[in-house]
Amino acid sequence: MTDIANRRPLALKTLTTVFLVIWLIAAAFPFVWTVWGSFKVEADFFSRQSWWMAIEGTRTQAQTGSAFTLQGYEGAWIKNEFWKAAINTMIVTLSVTIISLTIGTLGGYALARSGYRYAFWILIAALVFRAMPHITLVSGYMLPFFELNIWGVLPTTIIVLVAINQPFTLWMLHSFFLSIPKDLDESAMVDGCTRFQAFRMVIMPVMWPGVITTGLFSFLLGYNDFAVTSMLLSQQNQTMVPKIASFLGSIQNEGNVMFAVAAVVSATVPLFILVLFFQRQIVSGLTAGAVKG
């Protein structure tokens, strides 16, 4: 490995290193900049005089007596009840993940083991729904939800997100189930299991990596969704992402935009931890999907 790397011409090595460094800065800078800026006041972070002020925190020093301040976080979390949005996000994402996985494992298993033609068509239909922009589905939901008086509450949003997420979960778990040899179910059934027992006692223990990966993707979908949550949730039931958007929508008030910045950082940190923790599963899941389609 290292031998081959060392044999490369120096120019190429320099080029790749430079490219990687530039790429790393380009990718990481926005996030690092936001984290840094979230501890400043608006006059610094959005300074018109010099962007150097955001680094040094001149105004922050003048206004609060320290180069760093928690004003943005305090305003977002306490004054504007961002904690409520965080709890809502937790409820929505966990529910979406659990419901999607339950339906997805059962359905994916059934489709993977079904010898019938319709299994294929169900998967194709699922793919079509998956391909549609989320917003097109939501616009159709609005009127019926108003009529039925179920607009604005969390359960409705959860159901819609599950519906949007399900095709993907189904596809992904389906391909995971396909990679488990049929002999395993069959030997379980000959050994004395019913179909469901074979699923529960033999297939599921082997499926955990697939379930965790699919669960992560479902979690991310629920967590990051804007289209559905912003349209279907009332002001007091908002989750984090639309809440951040509404902070940004009211920048005429001094300091509000800093609430948004602080909230963005607050919403991103858990994702970072999650991805770092599960990176192995995410990568293996991505390649499994890539190979099995």
Partner 1 sequence: MAQIRLVNVSKRWGSYVGVDNFNLDIADAEFLVLLGPSGCGKTTTMRMIAGLEDVTEGEIWIGDKIVNNLEPKDRDISMVFQSYGLYPNLSVYENIRFPLRVRGIPKAEHHERVMRAAAMVELGPFLERRPAALSGGQRQRVALARSIVREPNAFLMDEPLSNLDAKLRVSTRAQIKNLHHTLKRTTIYVTHDQIEAMTLADRVVVMNKGLVQQLGTPTEIYDRPANTFVASFIGSPAMNLIDGDVTDGIFRAEGMALPIPLGVSGPITLGFRAEDVQVVPQGGQLSATVYSMELLGDATLVSCRIGPALVSIRAAKDFRTQIGAPLHVAIPPSAVHVFDRSSGQRLSDNTGLPAQATSSKTGAA
Provide the binding-site residues for partner 1, judged by CB under 8 A: 181, 183-184, 186-194, 197, 201-202, 205-206
Q: How far is the CB of 192 from partner 1 (least distance, A)?
A: 4
What are the residues whose beta carbons fall under 8 Å from the beta carbon of 140, sequence distance 6 or more? none
Q: How far is the CB of 253 from partner 1 (least distance, A)?
A: 57
Q: How far is the CB of 178 from partner 1 (least distance, A)?
A: 15
Residue with tokens 């990679």: 179
User: Is the Cβ of residue 87 or residue 201 nearer to partner 1 in the bound state?
Assistant: 201
User: Is the Cβ of residue 56 or residue 186 nearer to partner 1 in the bound state?
Assistant: 186
User: Is the Cβ of residue 209 or residue 270 nearer to partner 1 in the bound state?
Assistant: 209
Q: How far is the CB of 33 from partner 1 (least distance, A)?
A: 46
149 close to 156: Cβ distance less than 8 angstroms: no
Q: How far is the CB of 173 from partner 1 (least distance, A)?
A: 18
User: Is the Cβ of residue 194 or residue 234 nearer to partner 1 in the bound state?
Assistant: 194
Q: How far is the CB of 183 from partner 1 (least distance, A)?
A: 4
User: Is the Cβ of residue 197 or residue 224 nearer to partner 1 in the bound state?
Assistant: 197
User: Is the Cβ of residue 13 or residue 200 nearer to partner 1 in the bound state?
Assistant: 200
User: Is the Cβ of residue 144 or residue 181 nearer to partner 1 in the bound state?
Assistant: 181
Written as one string, the DSSP assignment of 57-89 is THHHHHHHSSS---HHHHIIIIIT-HHHHHHHH
Q: How far is the CB of 147 from partner 1 (least distance, A)?
A: 47
